Amino acid sequence: MRLADKVVKVRSKNAGPFWVTIDVFCGAPDVLAAVSAQLPAERVAALYQQPVETLKRFEIPDIFALKFSLPRPVVQGSRDDRDMHGAQYAVLLAELELDD
C-alpha cells in the first residue's frame, strides 16, 4: 500500500532556497506509529538520493505528523532546478510502497 493511501496528507515545500521539507500528516497515533517504523531516515534519504547525514527527521506526536527536511538536491531556481516551489518532491514519498 502506498504511503498516500495510509495517511491524511503528504506535502512538500521549499524551506528557503536551499532546503526542501516534506510533511506527512498521519491523522491518528496508530497510523503515525506504523508509518514511522517504516520510514527511517536512511530509507527517505535513499529515495531522494541524498546523504542521510544531512537529512533531518522529526516526529510531531501532538499532531500525528512526520517531517523530513533535506538540502535541496538542486538550489531553488538554479539552472538545473525543475520545481521552483519544491511541492512535487512530496510525490516520491507519497507513492512509496509500505507494508500493510
Partner 1 sequence: MTRVLVPSGVLGLGFDGPALMRGAQMKPDIIAIDGGSTDSGPFYLGTGTSKYSRAASKSEWRQILQARALAGVPLVIGSCGTCGTDSAVDWMYKITTELAAELGQTLKIARLYSSQDTAKMQAALAKDRIAPLMPNLPIDHDLLSDCSHIVALAGAEQINAALATGADIVLAGRTTDTASIAALPLARGDHAGAVWHGAKVAECGALCSTNPTSGVILVDFDATGFEVQPLATGAACTPHSVSAHMLYENSDPFILYEPGGHLDVRNARYKALDSACVRGDGAKWVVAPRYTVKLEGARMVGYQTTILALLRDAHYVRNAQAWADKLHAFLTARITERMALGPQDYTLEFRLIGANATLGSLENRQAQPVEIGVLGIITARDAAMADEIGRMINPFVLHYPLTEDEELPTFGFPYSPAQSDRGALYEFCLNHVLELDSPMDAFRLVVDEVGP
Residue ranges that bind partner 1, judged by CB under 8 A: 13-19, 21, 23, 25, 47-49, 54, 56, 58, 60, 62-63, 65, 67, 69, 71, 73, 75-80, 82-85, 88-89, 91-92, 95
Q: Which three cell numbers stand for residue 67?
A: 517531517
As measured in angstroms, the least distance from the Cβ of 63 to partner 1 is 5
CB atoms within 10 A of CB 32: 21
Between 34 and 55, name the residue whose CB sits nearer to partner 1: 55
Residue with smaller CB distance to partner 1, 7 or 23: 23
Q: For the CB of residue 34, give the shortest distance to partner 1 in the complex, in Å.
A: 20
- Cα–Cα distance, 31 to 51 (Å, whole number): 27
Q: Which residue lies nearer to partner 1 by CB, 34 or 71?
A: 71
Q: Name 97's bridge partners.
A: 2
Shortest gap between Cβ of 40 and partner 1 (angstroms)? 18
Using CB atoms within 10 Å of the CB of residue 77, give its burial: 0 to 12 exposed, 13 to 18 middle, 19+ buried: exposed
Q: What is the DSSP letter of 86?
A: -
